Chains A and B, each alone.
Chain A
Amino acid sequence: AQSVTQPDIHITVSEGASLELRCNYSYGATPYLFWYVQSPGQGLQLLLKYFSGDTLVQGIKGFEAEFKRSQSSFNLRKPSVHWSDAAEYFCAVVSNSGYSTLTFGKGTMLLVSP
């Protein structure tokens, strides 16, 4: 069965500093991978997705992620964090059921310090 691991429950980053959120997946075939962000009281918003092709994908709000098959990783990065980026971030993989149901990691809460 597929699974997603986000090893960091909380991360604190100073405003203006760079950010990397880790995501490792376990999946038998070529995965479809996603990063979502969830702010308090808001639904999940898709930041970016990887289906195939270029392993470095660009998303909204200045985020990018790199797919590394050899490491089974899909880490999210941002060169300069803004206070408004404080939220919870979820990595997800499409299940192999054939119906595109998402399997999520447990999430990483990003705190931004002034």
Chain B
Amino acid sequence: DTGVSQNPRHKITKRGQNVTFRCDPISEHNRLYWYRQTLGQGPEFLTYFQNEAQLEKSRLLSDRFSAERPKGSFSTLEIQRTEQGDSAMYLCASSLDNNEQFFGPGTRLTVL
């Protein structure tokens, strides 16, 4: 399968714990995006990478959130001291330059 993959697909954690998600984009894609989708809402942009550089961050991305793309390939999104309001689907997408974004299946986070 050469699409965007995300792991884990589901994560249940207790409030206050840290969690980390991984996204593997389509191999030749230089751009990688993170979005968050809550129940009844469309996806909302979180952050964006071009190669290894993080070029844009939404104001939704509080200081408890950090994202990296160390070698310009896979990316990780870490949430520290999780809160119940962090419960959502976290979507990753990749694209080649300014072309179509291809989405992964998402990681569903539940914070108890």
- Please report A residues at the B interface, Cβ cutoff 8 Å: 4, 9, 36, 41-46, 49, 90, 92, 95, 97, 99-107
Contact = CB atoms under 8 A, between A and B. Distances in A.
B42 A107 contact: yes
B18 to A, nearest CB: 25
Contact of B42 (A42, A49, A106): A106
A5 to B, nearest CB: 11
16 contacts: A36-B103, A43-B4, A43-B103, A43-B105, A44-B43, A44-B91, A46-B100, A49-B100, A97-B56, A99-B31, A99-B55, A100-B95, A102-B45, A106-B40, A106-B42, A107-B41
Contacts of B100: 46, 49
Interface of B: 3-4, 31, 33, 35, 40-45, 48, 50, 55-56, 91, 93, 95, 98, 100-106
A105 B42 contact: yes
A39 to B, nearest CB: 10
A103 to B, nearest CB: 7
Contact of A104 (B40, B42, B95): B42
A102 B91 contact: no
A41 B45 CA distance: 20
Contact of B56 (A9, A44, A99, A105): A99
B48 A92 contact: no
A100 B96 CA distance: 11
Nearest to A91: B42
A95 B100 CA distance: 14
Contacts of A49: 100
Contacts of A107: 40-42
B7 to A, nearest CB: 13
